[in-house]
Chains A and B, each alone.
Chain A
Amino acid sequence: DTAVSQTPKYLVTQMGNDKSIKCEQNLGHDTMYWYKQDSKKFLKIMFSYNNKELIINETVPNRFSPKSPDKAHLNLHINSLELGDSAVYFCASSQVRLAGAGELFFGEGSRLTVL
C-alpha cells in the first residue's frame, strides 16, 4: 500500500498550458505539503495545508493553486505553464505534533517538463 501517492509520475506539456497534479495519502495525517525540486536537487516548500486549511504559502506565483477537498487529498493546479516550472513536484504529509519529532512522508514525485 502506497502511503503517499501522486499522479501523474511524468508530465510533458507545452508552455501556456494548464495542468494538474494529484496527491492522496492514506496515513491519516492532518497536514499535507507541496515541494518543488529543481534540476540542482534544491527542495523548496511551496504550500502546506492542515485539515484543508492553507497554512504555508511560500512566495509562489498565483498561477499555482493548491486545492484540498479533504485532509487526505491535496491537488496542485498550474495555469499558463512556463519553462521555469519544469521540476519534480513532491507531495508530502505529516502528523502535526505539539511536541516530539515529526516526520515527513513523501510521494515519489511528479516530473513536469515544459517545452
Chain B
Amino acid sequence: GEDVEQSLFLSVREGDSSVINCTYTDSSSTYLYWYKQEPGAGLQLLTYIFSNMDMKQDQRLTVLLNKKDKHLSLRIADTQTGDSAIYFCAEIPDSGGYQKVTFGIGTKLQVIP
C-alpha cells in the first residue's frame, strides 16, 4: 500500500467511461496489474501490462502506462453496473523468482444506473 497509491473512490454513470489512476514507486517493476474485487469475494486479475509497453487494450479495458512518471491507469469504456467493485493496482518489484506483489489501497468504483 505505501508504495502504490490510488484514489479511494470514483462514481460514474452507466454508459460513461471510468478512469482509475495509480502511481507506483518501484521503477524496477516489470509487470503492473489491475485486480478487481467484487463485494464479498476475493481479488481477480483483470489485466496486466509489461513495463516496456505504454498501452494495452482488451475489449472495454484500456491500460495506459507512463513509466517516466510511474503512472498507471485503467480505463473502462461503457461502464456497466456489473463493473461496480474495488479495483487494485499492483506491482511486482522483482518478477524473477518469488513474487512479492504490492497492492494499492484500492479504488471503489460506483456505477450509477
Contacts and interface: CB of A to CB of B under 8 A. Distances in A.
A77 B48 CA distance: 33
Contacts of B103: 43-44
A100 to B, nearest CB: 8
Contact of A104 (B1, B43, B108): B43
A60 interface: no
Given A99-B95, A99-B96, A102-B99, A41 B106 contact: yes
A92 interface: yes
A43 B106 contact: yes
B96 A98 contact: yes
A41 B42 CA distance: 11
A99 B43 CA distance: 23
A76 to B, nearest CB: 15
Contacts of B31: 101-102
A108 B42 CA distance: 4
A102 B105 contact: no
A34 interface: no
Contacts, number: 68
Contacts of A106: 42-44
B11 to A, nearest CB: 16
Interface string B20-57: 00000000000101010100111111001010000000
Contacts of A81: none
A56 B98 contact: yes
A31 interface: yes
B92 A40 contact: no
A47 to B, nearest CB: 11
A101 B106 contact: no
B96 A104 contact: no
Given A41-B86, A43-B1, A43-B106, A104 B101 contact: yes
